[in-house]
Each structure stands twice: as C-alpha cells, then as structure tokens.
Copies of this chain bind each other. A is one copy, B any other.
Amino acid sequence: MNAEPDDLMRAIEATLFASDVPMSAADLRLHVGDGGDVPALLARLAADYAGRGINLVERGGRWHFQTAADLAHILRREKEESRRLSRAAMETLAIISYHEPVSRAEIEAIRGVQVGKGTLDVLMEAGWVRPAGRREVPGRPLTYATTPAFLTHFGLASRRDLPGIDDLRAAGLLDPVDLALESAMAGSRSDADPEADGDNPVQSVVEMDDEDA
C-alpha cells in the first residue's frame, strides 16, 4: 500500500466496500465512470491489501473485500460466562442425585412443585444429568440420573459420598421451614450471612413454580 491512491482507485475501493454484493469491473464502471483502467486498478488494490487484515479478492470475475482467512477465529469468539443455577434447577439436581434414577413425576412429587422442561434441559446442557432409560410402568416415563461430570464438578468420589438424611438433619439443613423462617425474620442472618440467599425459606415458599434457568 505504498502508492498514493488516485481518485479512481479510491472510488473503486469505496464502492466495493459499500456494496453489499461482489462487483465485476463492469458493475464498478457504472459507479465510478469509464475513464480508467478498472481491472488494472483492482489488481493494484488487491496488491495493496495483501498481507493486511482485510483482503480484496476476486471470485468468478467479481470482486469483494473480506477479512483475511487466517483471522476467522477472532471473529467467532466463545465466551464463558459463569452463571448460577436457578433454585428450581438446583433442587431438581439435588433430587436426581439423591434418588436416581428418577422420573419427572417423581421429582415433582418430592419437590412439591412442577418441574419445567427447561430446568432438566439446563441440567443436561451443563452435563450433570442424563436420561437413564424408561421405567417399565404404565406410561413408561423417562428417568434421569447424574453423570460422571456431575461427580467431578461437585468433588464426589461416588454418590455414596452425599451426606445422608441424618447428616443433613444434624447440619440443620432439615429444619422445618417455619423455624427457619422465624430465625430469618429475627434478622441476624439476613444481610451479613452470605448463605442467607440460598437459605431463605421465604423465597421457596413464595416461588411456587420454577423459574427456568
């Protein structure tokens, strides 16, 4: 790109840039006029842009600009976003992990609220839950189970490592909702306690249906 671009070349450059379709030398002449050697200028332009991030290329007699092929990867970036599971998804995952293989109807019976289809989709997309065959009962419901990736993510050697009901009770995690509500209302744990959010039973009472992830 050393040469001083002359007006016709600038016009060709701009026209190709602004056009939404590739253009032949004849198409270009309709815009920039007849007074010059359009093919030669196209060749010069192509040489100017060789090695840059943008290239001028010819395909079947039509010219267009495109980004350099070796840079395609930066135009399509994947970005990882850390997202928290919704409460519905978390509870559903917990039920599957404790009761697997378990059907959707069974999950709903345990949760006490319906399980949206999106909730299971999120868990499967996360790679933590898989379909685990059909149960041989009327309706042949699909059952769900956890995956090895689930164990890996939660740092478990096996499902037996999950704390049992007695452990949960001892940890206060089975406290009836009303009691938990009272202590939450007492205020001491509301703001400062980082777990208060997940803990807050008011939310689980109010939120009847699951918000899908």
Binding site for B on A (CB under 8 A): 1-2, 4-5, 9-15, 17-18, 30-32, 48, 51-54, 65, 67-68, 71, 74-75, 77, 79
Contact = CB atoms under 8 A, between A and B. Distances in A.
Given A13-B52, A18-B67, A53-B9, A31 B1 contact: no
B54 A17 contact: yes
B68 A31 contact: no
Nearest to A52: B5
A144 to B, nearest CB: 32
7 contacts: A1-B2, A10-B53, A13-B53, A15-B53, A15-B74, A17-B65, A17-B67
Copies of this chain held together in the complex: 2
A52 B54 CA distance: 14
Contacts of A13: 52-54
Given A14-B54, A15-B75, 12 more contacts: A1-B1, A1-B2, A10-B68, A11-B53, A13-B52, A14-B68, A14-B71, A14-B74, A15-B53, A18-B75, A30-B79, A31-B77
Contacts of A79: 30
Among A12, A71, A75, the one with the most B-chain Cβ atoms within 10 Å of its Cβ is: A71
Contact of A52 (B10, B32, B51, B65): B10
Contacts of A53: 5, 9-15, 17
